[in-house]
A and B are shown apart, each in its own frame.
Chain A
Amino acid sequence: MMTIGKAKLGLYWACSCGGCDIATLNIHEKILEVDAAFEIVFWPVAMDAKVKDVEAMPDGSIDLMLFNGGIRTTENEEMAHLLRRKSKILVAFGSCASEGCIPGLANLSPVSSIFDVSYSATPTTENPQNIRPTITWQAPEGELHLPGLFPVLRTLDQVVPVDYYIPGCPPESEEIAAVIEQVTQVLDGKASLPPKGSTLGAGKSTVCDECKRTKNVKEIHQFVRIQSLERIDPELCLLEQGLPCNGPATRSGCGALCPQVSAQCIGCHGPAEGVIDYGARLMSAFASVIASNDPKEIGQILDGIPDPAGQFYRFNLAKSLLRSGRQAWEGLEEGK
């Protein structure tokens, strides 16, 4: 890839929390290398920019576009199409863009109930007039428009073609730095780009592979919440201690940070290489090591996981095979 002058870099956030942008700044002095190698042309979090500036750029003029956040609103979708057109390499950056992440869990509820929670139901909400957002509003100065909400959240690659993925909620700063390093080498002609669709920066194996805890043949007699354990063995596998640790299906590369400090893996690093449905893989792993052959007892042991969808699809629902709960789309086929 040859570029005259500095290569152009863009960063954008769609339906996300902003943590991915913070993680990018967390690469510390490496940011100087970013500045040396790239001209940052669009980064709403860190610098002033207008969408019309991006619209004015020639198509394909942004060399590297790091896009974080899922597609929940019409604005998200518009920006995804615009930035795809303007970018040579579009990267789904972080868990939201790659697999939906926490905002994707809202795919278990219809929009009406999301609005009920946000604008009425929570105890801290005071909204006596029951004011709800509208997409158009007639103000004295003219008609105002707000983006509309889609019935479900989609991942970036469910809306536009994506070249690469960087997993993590947020991606580890070392991983971001490694990707920056890799891309600068490509720009210098010292390396070539990996095949399209690859996951950059992270490992291919599982968190268990990186976790230093002792692992034995697993026999689970109960699943417990971490608060209810009096003492956590600092050496023994957390799953063996009854903590629902998502390590067996989660991609390596984070350094097994959470299990190292006795907190179970929650799966923020996405599915390991080759896993089609993260939750299904994890269900398989958890269920097969339950130490009972009696359906009733198995049921009781599994009562220790009161919210299976949340446990197995916490970060992955929008990218799973089913993509959403039936509640989110029921009625749409009738053209409601």
Chain B
Amino acid sequence: MSDPLDGKTFEPVIIGFTCNWCSYRAADMAGMARMKYPPNIRLVRVMCSGRLDPTFIFKAFASGADGVMVTGCHPGDCHYIEQNYKLMRRFILMQRTLEQMGIEPGRLKLTWASAAEGAKFSEEVTNMVEEVRRLGPLNWPSAETMDEWMAKEPSIETEERP
């Protein structure tokens, strides 16, 4: 792996999930107002942050994302009353589980943004891209890569007997 601090060449891939009613509109507003944020984030719109099955996040990391940003309406503002609280709870649990698997908490970020907060959205994206850039590439191996490593690596630990 290259030096994580040598961030000049590393462009992280961030998958962003936005909810239809607030955070997607915030992203939309940022676009309409010509606010600038790095193009490293790929947005996926879902109807509600409560719709975010943790499977999506795990799949993103397993498929090569360096970071995942989950966003939703501010607590209390959910279009479906209280589903964003479910995301809040899942987020804490996912972050803890991912950490055990060696994925730093900084690679999964939760942001609330209302439809009027285009500026906040672009700022949060910028911050996250910088943070993940600092952390370096994740490079989670695909099934094929793992098979290649296994073929190359039939056995390790060949320490001599004393």
Contact = CB atoms under 8 A, between A and B. Distances in A.
Contacts of B62: 321-323
Interface residues of B, number: 45
Nearest to B101: A325
A298 B88 contact: yes
B28 to A, nearest CB: 27
A295 B97 contact: no
Contacts of A333: 1, 139, 141, 149
B161 to A, nearest CB: 6
Contacts of A247: none
A19 interface: no
A132 B121 CA distance: 54
A290 B53 contact: no
Interface string A285-317: 011101011010011001001011100100000
A201 B102 CA distance: 36
Given A283-B90, A295-B88, A149 B101 contact: no
Contacts of B9: none
A288 B1 contact: no
Nearest to A130: B162
Contacts of B101: 108, 309, 322, 324-326
A149 B156 contact: yes
A129 B57 CA distance: 46
A135 B161 CA distance: 11
Contacts of B152: 335
B96 A308 contact: yes
Interface stretch (A51-59, A96-104, A234-242, A273-281): A273-281
B143 interface: yes
A280 B98 CA distance: 11
B80 to A, nearest CB: 13
A134 interface: yes
Most buried by A among B89, B154, B162: B89
B92 interface: yes
A302 B97 contact: no
**Which among A111, A137, A288, A307 has the greatest number of chain B C-beta atoms within 10 A?**
A288
Contact of B153 (A286, A298, A322, A332): A332
A205 interface: no
A284 B143 contact: no
Interface string A137-171: 10000000001111110100010000000000000
Contacts of B161: 131-132, 134, 137
B146 A288 contact: no
A295 B154 CA distance: 45
Contact of B158 (A134, A283, A288, A305): A134
Interface in B74-127: 75, 82, 85-86, 88-90, 92-94, 96-97, 100-103
Contacts of B97: 279, 283, 308-309, 312
Contacts of B50: 288
Nearest to A148: B155
Interface in A226-274: none
A151 B93 contact: no
A132 B155 contact: no
B103 A326 contact: yes
A288 B86 contact: yes
B92 A295 contact: yes
A288 B154 contact: no
A288 B156 CA distance: 42
A333 to B, nearest CB: 7
A112 interface: yes
A182 interface: no
Contacts of B147: 158
A96 B65 CA distance: 29
B58 A132 contact: no
Contacts of A281: 53-55
A149 B155 contact: yes
B6 interface: no
A133 interface: yes
13 contacts: A150-B155, A151-B150, A154-B150, A158-B147, A276-B59, A277-B58, A283-B93, A287-B93, A288-B90, A292-B89, A298-B89, A322-B101, A326-B103
Interface of B: 1, 50, 53-55, 57-59, 61-62, 75, 82, 85-86, 88-90, 92-94, 96-97, 100-103, 139-141, 143, 146-147, 149-150, 152-162
